[in-house]
Amino acid sequence: MTLADPVLVADIGGTNARFALATVGAAGIAVSDRQTFRAEDFETIRDAAAAYLESVAPKPKRACFAAAGPIIDNAVDFTNSHWILRGDEIAAALAFDDFLIVNDFYALAAGIAHLPASALIEVKPGDPIVDAPRLVIGPGTGLGQALIVPTTTGDRIIATEGGHVSYAPRTELETEIKRFIAREHPRVSVERLLSGRGLVNIHRALCAIEGAQRISLQANEITAAAVSGAYPIAVKAVDMFCAILGRVAGDAVLSTGARGGVILGGGILPKIRDIFLKSEFIVRFSEKGRMSDYVAAVPVRLIVEDGAALYGAAASLGKKA
Amino acid sequence: MTLADPVLVADIGGTNARFALATVGAAGIAVSDRQTFRAEDFETIRDAAAAYLESVAPKPKRACFAAAGPIIDNAVDFTNSHWILRGDEIAAALAFDDFLIVNDFYALAAGIAHLPASALIEVKPGDPIVDAPRLVIGPGTGLGQALIVPTTTGDRIIATEGGHVSYAPRTELETEIKRFIAREHPRVSVERLLSGRGLVNIHRALCAIEGAQRISLQANEITAAAVSGAYPIAVKAVDMFCAILGRVAGDAVLSTGARGGVILGGGILPKIRDIFLKSEFIVRFSEKGRMSDYVAAVPVRLIVEDGAALYGAAASLGKKA
């Protein structure tokens, strides 16, 4: 189906909201007029959306927002900010005929088929099984995950909560890090290590374990310091982050039978792209004992297009229509 | 579709093979003439199948065998016995027009809709999401798993390898047990604890940790001793087995988005049914921090029908036709 008139699409996280217009045509999805608004500059998401809509004409009558958080009763409460996204309120205030909220990794999964070729790079080759599920996974606000399950009538997208499975440390150092995190969060899920806050946790734990002077860094400061090489512990934290992500992604492939491929998303990996591609990710991904061949055959790609979820938001609206 | 003539179905594990005839009709699947053969009594699976076929008439022209192991090139090599199941060889030697090998948990998942009501008991109630995936999981030879994904054209069954994900210990005692197992298998997957051999591993580890006299018990001896209460360490091993299974099953629900329900299968749980139903399984299953409500809403049932995979083998053949 096609959406001849432009629709409003958004990708809303804890710290900012990205808005754009999308048209769904026979030639694919086109996304234009992108603008990003910071959560700290707007009291509500409605205000941010209204500010965006002032700049475009004609005003779209349909909209889909991808949100980084669980959708409960058509609303999302963002853990990292004061924003709350309420579907009914937005639809009424902005006079949309049709308004949809989807999980951000659901949107990412729904959008992959519509991304331009330049949006994805290869992390490792593989020998995918065409009709097997594909896994979308990536660290950002949390460790988002979704499954793409091929069916006889097209792909079915399933949002999962794989970021919340129990964390299984492999080395003694990883066990130490788990103990450090467990002081604050007795149940250590993989998301406690593999997310923006997770990277902060790994860095803090390494500082404590190595008895180093504790430099309090945010996630984007740690990734920047790792890229520049400014702080050795930041470099080490990012290396561990990549290695642990490899193991966790490999486990997720086993859990879901995702022999069709893995697509990495989220905001963190593109920022550490070169480090990531040279990291232990690939080795740890396939290191599964008797099941190593099974996992090693799975190709892995990385989404490097910043607004990938916007394509998926448009596709989700198209699907629903 | 219906299979008017009886088909041969089998459920083949490391220690025995169960054969039966099945008819697929409008009223459902009927399974009759069940017989079990021990692997130690027959040199090959073909010999066992031929022995079974001598006792039935007319001889079925179509067959489906469910096998406890990975299917590679239409063959299954059973780790626990000398048996190797080769599809081409069986089809030729027994003159089947149609012969299919499926994974045993694939068969279990495919058969659930066809089981008689008495085949399942409730472990915990829940509030399932009707069109969400359902997870089939259970300890036996390994920790088998499969997903049932509803689609617009019926259920799609996906065999997974979730039994091979990394084991995440929760308590200090569990960490000790992991270390004990890691001496023999450096990468400790959940199957190293949650299977017949896994139960043996837990029991051996507990004996070593508690400095108890090491009584070497097989899995069926441990479950029998737990039921009779003969050995306190066997009781403790089975209790831990149930608790760990709860945590691992809860993690599998998070990984796969299986909000439609969990169905427990495999040969071990029915043998310890009363202990299992009173165990920590349910508490550990839902103990997922912020995601506890998500998992607690998922209903869990246990398959107590011994030949459940036989129904699934018949259903798989019906589906393929």
CB B35 within 8 A of CB B52: yes
Domain that holds residue A88: 3-113+307-320
In terms of domains, do A205 and A252 share one? yes
In terms of domains, do A220 and A289 share one? yes
Residue of B nearest to A174 (CA): B168
CB B191 within 8 A of CB B163: yes
Name the residue facing A133 among B70, B158, B164 (closest C-beta): B158
**Quick one: CA torsion of A85, A89, A93, A95, rounded to 10 degrees?**
100
- B156 touches A: beta carbon within 8 Å: yes
In terms of domains, do A161 and A28 share one? no
Q: What is the ipTM for the molecules in this complex?
A: 0.93
In terms of domains, do A64 and A84 share one? yes
CB A222 within 8 A of CB A200: yes
In terms of domains, do A56 and A84 share one? yes
In terms of domains, do B171 and B293 share one? yes
Nearest CA-CA distance, residue B201 and chain A, Å = 18
Going by pLDDT thresholds of 50, 70 and 90, the confidence category of residue A2 is: low
Query: What is the separation of C-alpha B52 from the centre of its chain, rounded to a whole number of angstroms?
Result: 23
| SS3 state at B29 | strand
CB A103 within 8 A of CB A309: no
Going by pLDDT thresholds of 50, 70 and 90, the confidence category of residue B321 is: very low
The CATH number for A271's domain is 3.40.367.20
Residues 91-120 of A with CB under 8 A from B: none
Going by pLDDT thresholds of 50, 70 and 90, the confidence category of residue B3 is: low
Percentage of chain B beyond pLDDT 70 is: 98
Residues of A in contact with B164 (CB under 8 A): 254, 288-291
pLDDT digits (tens, 9 = 90+) for A30-85: 999 999 999 899 999 999 999 999 999 889 999 999 998 888 889 998 877 889 99
What long-range pairs does A48-54 form, CB within 8 A, spacing at least 24?
A48/A17, A48/A19, A49/A8, A49/A10, A49/A17, A49/A19, A49/A90, A49/A94, A50/A93, A50/A94, A52/A8, A52/A19, A53/A8, A53/A94
Residue of B nearest to A286 (CA): B165
In terms of domains, do B144 and B282 share one? yes
Cross-strand pairs, A248:
none
CB A179 within 8 A of CB A187: no
- A179 touches B: beta carbon within 8 Å: no
In terms of domains, do A137 and A79 share one? no
Q: Which residues of B141-156 are buried (b: 16+ CB within 10 A; e: fewer)?
A: bbbbbbbbbbeeeebb
In terms of domains, do A55 and A146 share one? no
Does B161 sit within 8 Å of A291, measured CB to CB?
yes
- B182 touches A: beta carbon within 8 Å: no
pLDDT digits (tens, 9 = 90+) for B159-217: 999 999 999 999 999 999 999 999 998 899 999 999 999 999 999 999 999 987 777 89
In terms of domains, do A108 and A123 share one? no
Position B87 scores a pLDDT of 95
Going by pLDDT thresholds of 50, 70 and 90, the confidence category of residue A149 is: very high
> DSSP readout, B280-296?
SHHHHHH--GGGHHHHH
Position A13 scores a pLDDT of 87
Rounded (5°) CA angle B26-B30-B34:
165
In terms of domains, do A298 and A312 share one? no
Position B26 scores a pLDDT of 82
Does A251 sit within 8 Å of B165, measured CB to CB?
yes
Interface mutation vs chain B, best among A106, A155, A157, A164, most B CBs within 10 Å = A164
As for how many domains chain A has, the answer is: 2
Does A257 sit within 8 Å of B255, measured CB to CB?
no
pLDDT digits (tens, 9 = 90+) for A239-297: 999 999 999 999 999 999 999 999 999 999 999 999 999 999 999 999 999 899 999 99
In terms of domains, do B151 and B293 share one? yes
Residues of B in contact with A129 (CB under 8 A): none
| DSSP-derived secondary structure letter, B192 | G
The CATH number for B73's domain is 3.30.420.40
- Number of Cβ within 10 Å of residue A81's Cβ equals 18
pLDDT digits (tens, 9 = 90+) for B226-283: 999 989 999 999 999 999 999 999 999 999 999 999 999 999 999 999 999 999 999 9
What would the mean pLDDT of B299-303 be, rounded to a whole number?
98
Residues of B in contact with A169 (CB under 8 A): 168
What would the mean pLDDT of B137-143 be, rounded to a whole number?
94
| Rg of chain A in Å (alpha carbons) | 20
